[in-house]
Amino acid sequence: MTVTKGEPPAGGTAAGAPPERRSHVPGDGSATAVAIEEARRAMLHDVRNRKRTRIGADVLMEALIRQGVDTLFSYPGGVILPIYDILADYPEVRHILVRHEQGGAHAADGYARASGKVGVCMGTSGPGATNLVTGIATAMLDSIPMVALTGNVASPLLGKDAFQEIDITGITLPMTKHNYLVRHADDIPRVVAEAFYIASHGRPGPVHVDFTKDALQGETRAEHPSAEEVAAGLPGFRPTIEGHPKQLKTAAREIAAAKRPLILAGHGVLIAEAWDELAAFAEKTQIPVAWTLLGIGAMDEGHPLAYGYMGMHGWKHVNRAIQAADLLIAIGMRFDDRVTGSVKTYAPYARIIHADIDPAEIGKNVAVEVPIVGDAKNILAGLTRLVHPVDPADRAEYLDQLAEWRAESEASPWHGSGGWREGAMTADFVVARIGELTNHDATYVADVGQNQMWTARYTRFKRPNSHVSSGGLGTMGFAVPAAMGAALGNPGAETWALAGDGGFQMTSQELMTLAADRIPVKIAILDNKKLGMIRQWQEIVYGGNYHSSHLPGPDFVKLAEAYGIPAWKATAPDQVDDAIRAAQAVDGPALVWFEIEEEQNVFPFMTAGKGLSDLIENWGGPEE
Amino acid sequence: MTPETAAHAAPPDRALPGTGAPHRHALVVLVMDHPGVLNRVASLMRARNFNIDSLAVSRTDREHISRMTITLHGDDVAVEQAAKQLYKLIDVLKVQDVTADQVVEHELALIKVRATDANRAEVIKIVELYKGRIVDIAPESVIVEATGTEAEIDALVALTRSYGIKELVRTGAIVMLRGAGSIEEALKL
């Protein structure tokens, strides 16, 4: 394969043949895989004479298939060998052999975000399980439906500090929606069914199930419970779906009385698949919509009532509108500190309607006037029925004011590139080109830091679930493995991972998984040779003390090439489009290394403890 | 028309939830008696930055259901937040803040008090005045058993302290609503 450094290939086409398929993935259809499966089946037939015992591992696989699981991100190990021993008998489930369990957990997370289904990952006991932890915590903070499976030592050895034994359920307890330790094969059908039910109902979240090795090996005739039996067996888990009619009426009255209302759309709108209801509600009431980081995609950014991204690095006009609003209608968001800044000075004129499926979110960070507990789809539909239609002319003064603020904010030289000269290789330009050349219809998976904020601000999202980002936990290293899952979760969409050079290096081992399984993820490395967000804080808050934020990296083209992944490097704005197109033309994974300006900041910027009215946007830049 | 241009003064700061005056609350928590449920409750309270004053756990007369009584200090909003977080635990069936209700509240204490031939009679007399019971007598000490509200036990402990407390153990409060109403019977399983 030809790899061009410094300049993109002429004509923008991919050079070279795709890498050789090396996977042994059951059901992936490659000749190698089919041959191995056939040999395996023949062997099982001989050894077990078609009458092998049904063991716990079988029941687990049956249970996964009953839940509609088609992809399992996993890495083998001693105590889960009973599962690997029978895995080939279940070709319905595609096994993706990740190169590190953390990658598996993020992949399951990305799969869930892109597909709306439950993502599943697995690791062995001890280090396999602890490696999953970062991914489980990421899913917890962002309410992602995930089931994480781990093995543990045989139950007689539990608590004896056996080889690769760790109290993993003790570790995951505070970072899961629920967790289980299963010691008997007979319990597996019920526990797995409960795990999926809990992970996907109410406010979603990760559920961890730990199986002792003897549970996986034990013979069982246990039957799988029905969905009704599962729900009936969980008397402590009865999420509220319907918004209370009285609260909806109160909210409708507040909406009718408001002069400067603003809708704050969060992740809950996407989880509830309530994007149509959101648009209908906004249109009927003529109320503009702002969104949180994870609420991106809840409304097409081209919609006339779409106002923008809020918070610490949000658009200035959006934060200005929040600070001026007399009513905030918050749907499926949680007033995170990155959204509010200082609560004391947050939205000082606003009464707040707060709808969330999790009652504990209401009143947790800000006191609200109208709490509504329930599912966003249900609540938005209910509110839309109750409110009177508003003529756009009656809101003209307010909407004109917002439009004026938007124009003012967009005219600021700090709005986009942070004051960089025309023609500089700025990240906002690269991100905007990726958005443009993918018709804003790809799945864009961000890492964490400046790259994440640039992605959120400049991609321009049109489609629900097209934006994947680690919001709550802020997990560097998320993008590449999560994009791997997202590409499999929504194979119809082109998938781009947008990572900084720092985050990319945290999980770059998954390049091998992408190559081996030919998962078509396009990776954009926004390389400023810095931990950019750390550097930005050091510049603005810590007096220019740049300790440890300079981060030399490898030759990323050579690195990708070593894994058999075609790669290009772009160092100037006029190379950007060709490099993106070259990556797009590859049938399989590809990587583009964008060498961007080293000291570009993300503006506006609100430092910790400040309020939304105290945005920094004119910090001395390179031109001064 | 916008407040940014309005002449009136800025509004007061938005209040932070949970920063009001703290006072003592008692929560009754009904849970499934699954393994690890105590750990879940304790871990949650620690992780959410609530400080438990006392925690008493026992079985109920209903199969698979245990009852916890948790006392803690906090303002009403903070404690409501603790209750909501507890509700999110799958094994938690019911959380009720009984602070404002008419309740019977008791705890049990055992106090090993230094007592010699010279003052044993005096110790016993004082303990009995406080409805305590002597449950063990040794040459150098007596063990006092007492039940009562937290305040009553506090008073007895303070009184015996002057003789010298060798050991003290308290169960923490258990509470039950007065009248015919039942938290357990109200459970919808």
pLDDT digits over A88-107, tens only?
A: 999 999 999 999 999 999 99
Query: A interface mutation test: which of B2, B49, B85 has the most A CBs within 10 A?
Result: B2
A64: left (phi over 0), alpha (psi -120 to 50) or beta: alpha
Q: Which of B67, B100, B133 is the last residue of a domain?
A: B100
- How confident is the model over B144-168, as a mean pLDDT? 94
Shortest distance between the Cα of B27 and any Cα of chain A, in A, equals: 16
Query: B interface mutation test: which of A143, A173, A212 has the most B CBs within 10 A?
Result: A173
Q: Hey, are the CB atoms on B88 and A358 less than 8 Å from each other?
A: yes
Element (DSSP H or E) covering residue B144: strand B141-148
pLDDT digits over A308-319, tens only?
A: 999 999 999 999
pLDDT of A556 strictly over 80: yes
Shortest distance between the Cα of B187 and any Cα of chain A, in A, equals: 9
- A164 is a catalytic site residue: yes
Question: Which candidate in A164, A401, A505, A509 is catalytic?
Answer: A164
Closest Cα in chain A to B189: A235
- A335 is a catalytic site residue: no
A508: left (phi over 0), alpha (psi -120 to 50) or beta: alpha
- How confident is the model over B61-89, as a mean pLDDT? 95
Task: Supply the pLDDT for residue A452.
Answer: 97
**Residue A570 tokens, joined:** 């772009």
- Whether B10 is in a domain gets the answer no
- Whether B18 is in a domain gets the answer no
Specify the fold of A53-232. Rossmann fold (3.40.50)
- Whether B17 is in a domain gets the answer no
In terms of DSSP bridges, do strands A119-123 and B133-137 run parallel, antiparallel, or are they unpaired? unpaired
Shortest distance between the Cα of B164 and any Cα of chain A, in A, equals: 41
- How confident is the model over A201-226, as a mean pLDDT? 97
Residue at B13: amino acid letter: D
Q: Hey, are the CB atoms on B4 and A323 less than 8 Å from each other?
A: yes
- Output the domain CATH number for residue B96: 3.30.70.260
The Cα A551–Cα A506 span in angstroms is 12
Question: Which candidate in A122, A453, A506, A533 is catalytic?
Answer: A533
Indicate the average pLDDT of chain A. Answer: 92
Considering the four listed CATH numbers 3.40.50.2020, 3.90.260.10, 3.40.50.970, 3.40.50.1110, the one that applies to the domain covering A416-595 is 3.40.50.970
Query: A interface mutation test: which of B30, B37, B88, B92 has the most A CBs within 10 A?
Result: B88
pLDDT category at A606 given cuts 50, 70, 90 is: confident
When divided into structural domains, chain B yields a total of: 2
Contacts of B87 in chain A (CB under 8 A): 359-360
Shortest distance between the Cα of B177 and any Cα of chain A, in A, equals: 22
- How confident is the model over B120-143, as a mean pLDDT? 93
pLDDT category at B15 given cuts 50, 70, 90 is: confident
pLDDT of A281 strictly over 70: yes
pLDDT category at B75 given cuts 50, 70, 90 is: very high
Contacts of B88 in chain A (CB under 8 A): 177, 358, 360
Taking one residue from A and the other from B, the number of pairs with CB-CB distance under 8 angstroms is 77
pLDDT digits over A69-81, tens only?
A: 999 999 999 999 9
Largest CA distance in chain B: 86
Chain mean position to CA A523: 16
Task: Supply the pLDDT for residue A19.
Answer: 47
pLDDT category at B4 given cuts 50, 70, 90 is: low
Shortest distance between the Cα of A567 and any Cα of chain B, in A, equals: 45
Tell me the helices (H) and strands (E) count for chain A, helix number first. Answer: 24, 18
Contacts of B10 in chain A (CB under 8 A): 348
Of the partner residues B13, B14, B84, the one whose CB lies closest to the CB of residue A359: B84
pLDDT category at B130 given cuts 50, 70, 90 is: confident
Contacts of B4 in chain A (CB under 8 A): 320, 323-324
pLDDT category at A12 given cuts 50, 70, 90 is: very low
SS3 content of chain B, % helix, strand, coil (to 5): 25, 35, 40
Q: Hey, are the CB atoms on A198 and B90 less than 8 Å from each other?
A: yes
- A213 is a catalytic site residue: yes
- A1 is a catalytic site residue: no
- How confident is the model over A415-433, as a mean pLDDT? 84
In this structure, the answer to whether residues B115 and B135 fall within a common structural domain is yes
Task: Supply the pLDDT for residue A418.
Answer: 67
Indicate the average pLDDT of chain B. Answer: 91
The Cα A410–Cα A424 span in angstroms is 19
- Output the domain CATH number for residue B115: 3.30.70.1150
- Say what percent of chain A tops pLDDT 70: 90
Spans of all domains in chain A: 53-232, 245-410, 416-595
pLDDT digits over A457-480, tens only?
A: 999 999 999 999 999 999 999 999
Of the partner residues B17, B89, B189, the one whose CB lies closest to the CB of residue A366: B17
Closest Cα in chain B to A197: B90
pLDDT of B1 strictly over 50: no
pLDDT of A617 strictly over 90: no
- Whether B137 is in a domain gets the answer yes
Shortest distance between the Cα of B76 and any Cα of chain A, in A, equals: 12
Residue at A211: amino acid letter: F
In this structure, the answer to whether residues B116 and B82 fall within a common structural domain is no
Q: Hey, are the CB atoms on A234 and B90 less than 8 Å from each other?
A: yes
The Cα A78–Cα A125 span in angstroms is 8
- How confident is the model over A149-157, as a mean pLDDT? 97
Contacts of A323 in chain B (CB under 8 A): 4
Complex ipTM value: 0.90
- How confident is the model over A529-552, as a mean pLDDT? 95
Q: Hey, are the CB atoms on B10 and A348 less than 8 Å from each other?
A: yes
Contacts of A347 in chain B (CB under 8 A): 14
Question: Which candidate in A37, A101, A254, A277 is catalytic?
Answer: A101
- Whether B185 is in a domain gets the answer no
pLDDT of A4 strictly over 60: no
Q: Which of B82, B100, B118 is the last residue of a domain?
A: B100
Task: Supply the pLDDT for residue A34.
Answer: 74
Considering the four listed CATH numbers 3.40.50.2000, 3.40.50.1370, 3.40.50.10860, 3.40.50.1220, the one that applies to the domain covering A245-410 is 3.40.50.1220
pLDDT of B52 strictly over 50: yes
pLDDT of A381 strictly over 90: yes
- Whether B2 is in a domain gets the answer no
C-alpha pair distances (Å), A15 with each of A102, A342, A600, B102: 32, 52, 32, 80
pLDDT digits over A282-301, tens only?
A: 999 999 999 999 999 999 99
pLDDT category at A619 given cuts 50, 70, 90 is: low
Shortest distance between the Cα of B24 and any Cα of chain A, in A, equals: 20
- Whether B15 is in a domain gets the answer no
Task: Supply the pLDDT for residue A7.
Answer: 46
User: Range of B126's domain?
Assistant: 104-175
The Cα A375–Cα A242 span in angstroms is 6
Contacts of B2 in chain A (CB under 8 A): 260, 324, 401
pLDDT category at B20 given cuts 50, 70, 90 is: confident
Of the partner residues B17, B80, B92, the one whose CB lies closest to the CB of residue A236: B92
Chain mean position to CA B10: 43
- A533 is a catalytic site residue: yes
Lowest mean pLDDT among A209-213, A384-388, B126-130, B157-161: B126-130
Of the partner residues B16, B36, B188, the one whose CB lies closest to the CB of residue A344: B16
In this structure, the answer to whether residues B88 and B110 fall within a common structural domain is no
pLDDT of A33 strictly over 80: no
pLDDT of A423 strictly over 80: yes
pLDDT of A23 strictly over 60: no
The whole-model pTM stands at: 0.91
Residue A91 preceded by cis peptide, ω within 30: no
Q: Do domains A53-232 and A245-410 have the same CATH topology?
A: yes
In this structure, the answer to whether residues B120 and B149 fall within a common structural domain is yes
Q: Which of B100, B131, B154 is the last residue of a domain?
A: B100
- Sign of the CA dihedral with A296 first, then A298, A302, and A303 last: negative
Closest Cα in chain B to A237: B90
Closest Cα in chain A to B3: A324
